[in-house]
């Protein structure tokens, strides 16, 4: 039972950053903007969160700053793709190159040439709201004594679903992703709606990165994100651009990471090479995409430029 609890706890821990980022992808892509740049936005969010957490000692402020850093780079992506009709994939790749470079450059300036931020003290990390509620070391304590970012991620899944499917703003976001010309004739400002969705996307991706550096680990390093933004995008596709199914995909990917961690335990009778174990989450991602990408129907106008007055 202890092993099961540990696997569940680890799954939730590693799925949380993916959930934040995938929700960002859901917002952006439902509005018709491909956001491959989520990887870079997570990276700069992780750096900004770790740096602010160490310098201010306030994890909530640091968490917010991480989200704002992601939103800033999302704004660059929005300007390129919406205002200048740049290719969405090329712009996203540029963000993925630019954001880590900015993070490392800033880290060297702030921390005497180091590309790794100093370790954040335990009291400056995100809190664990249920710490002490259950008996220490028990099954329930192992599962539920998690950082608050885990609970925030699941709350945001519900909020995202409600906004997209139960509010006028969500209807507008989905409308400009399906048929921007029709939305334009109904008086919806296509550019403004897409800008809002992309900035929200970057903010959530930044929160995902910050949840890594402020909860899962205690610092930023260049390899901290290492492909998680791409995995989050795979979760969006697997989840058919719906928040609840994207969350399910993130839990699957989180579980694959948890199993790679568990199987790496040196006390197990069978030892597996750590390099093979580190491949598990990415192999699962590839398999999922191969099996489900054909059955996923993207928003009709996803990736298409739009100029006011077009039909």
**Per-residue pLDDT tens over the stretch 235-256:** 999 899 999 999 999 999 999 9
The pLDDT score that the predictor gives to residue 134 is 86
What's the pLDDT score for residue 60? 97
How confident is the model at residue 58, as a pLDDT? 96
The pLDDT tens digits of the residues spanning 219-239 come to: 999 999 988 999 999 999 989
Return the H-helix or E-strand segment holding 201: helix 190-211
- Cβ 31 vs Cβ 200: under 8 Å: no
Q: How far apart are CA 254 and CA 248, in angstroms?
A: 10
User: For residues 225 and 202, what is the distance between their CA atoms, to the nearest angstrom?
Assistant: 15
pLDDT at residue number 242: 95
pLDDT tens across 165-178, in order?
A: 999 999 999 999 99
Residue 38 pLDDT > 80, yes or no? yes
Instruction: Write the CB contacts of 276 (distance below 8 Å, at least 6 apart in sequence).
Output: none
142, 4 contact by CB (below 8 A): no
Instruction: Report pLDDT digits (tens) over 68-100.
Output: 999 999 999 999 999 999 999 999 999 999 999
Share of the chain above pLDDT 90, in %: 74
The residues, ordered by sequence, that sit 6+ positions from 306 with a Cβ below 8 Å of its Cβ are 32, 176, 180, 181, 184, 190
Measuring CA to CA, which residue among 229, 185, 163, 227 is closest to residue 30?
163
Predicted structure pTM score: 0.94
User: Where does the pLDDT of residue 311 fall: very low under 50, low under 70, confident under 90, or very high at 90 and above?
Assistant: low
Domain 2-295 belongs in CATH node 3.40.30: no
- Give the whole-angstrom CA distance, residue 72 versus residue 206: 9
Would you state the structure tokens that stand for residue 231, as one six-digit string?
């995995």
Kindly tell me if the per-residue pLDDT of 308 is higher than 60.
yes
pLDDT at 184 over 80: yes
- Mean pLDDT (the chain) is 92
Task: Calculate the CA dihedral of residues 281, 285, 286, 291 and round it to 10 degrees.
Answer: 140
Domain ranges of the chain: 2-295
Q: What's the half-sphere exposure (Cβ side, CA atoms, 13 Å) at 77?
A: 39
Q: Which residue has the higher pLDDT, 278 or 113?
A: 113
């Amino acid at each position: 039972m202890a092993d099961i609890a540990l696997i569940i706890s680890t799954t939730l821990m590693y799925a949380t950053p993916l959930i934040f980022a995938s929700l960002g992808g859901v917002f952006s892509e439902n509005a018709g903007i491909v956001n491959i740049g989520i990887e870079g936005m997570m990276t700069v969010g992780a750096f900004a969160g770790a740096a602010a957490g160490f310098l201010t000692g306030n994890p909530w402020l640091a968490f917010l700053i991480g989200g704002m850093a992601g939103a800033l780079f999302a704004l660059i992506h929005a300007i390129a793709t919406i205002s200048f009709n740049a290719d969405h994939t090329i712009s996203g790749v540029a963000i993925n190159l630019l954001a880590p470079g900015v993070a490392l450059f800033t880290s060297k300036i702030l921390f005497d040439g180091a590309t790794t931020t100093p370790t954040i003290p335990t009291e400056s990390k995100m809190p664990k709201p249920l710490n002490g509620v259950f008996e220490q070391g028990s099954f329930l304590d192992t599962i539920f004594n998690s950082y608050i970012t885990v609970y925030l991620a699941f709350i945001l899944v519900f909020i995202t679903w409600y906004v997209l499917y139960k509010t006028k703003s969500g209807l507008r976001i989905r409308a400009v992703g399906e048929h921007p010309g029709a939305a334009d004739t109904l008086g919806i400002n296509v550019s403004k709606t897409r800008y809002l969705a992309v900035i929200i996307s970057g903010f959530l991706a930044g929160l995902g990165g910050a949840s890594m550096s402020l909860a899962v680990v205690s610092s930023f390093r260049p390899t901290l994100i290492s492909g998680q933004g791409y995995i989050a995008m795979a979760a969006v596709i697997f989840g058919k651009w719906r928040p609840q199914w994207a969350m399910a995909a993130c839990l699957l990917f989180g579980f694959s990471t948890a199993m790679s961690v568990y199987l790496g335990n040196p006390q197990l009778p069978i030892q597996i090479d750590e390099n093979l174990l580190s491949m598990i989450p990415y192999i699962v991602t590839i398999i999922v995409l191969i099996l489900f990408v054909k059955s996923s129907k993207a928003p009709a106008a996803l990736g298409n430029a739009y100029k006011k007055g077009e039909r």
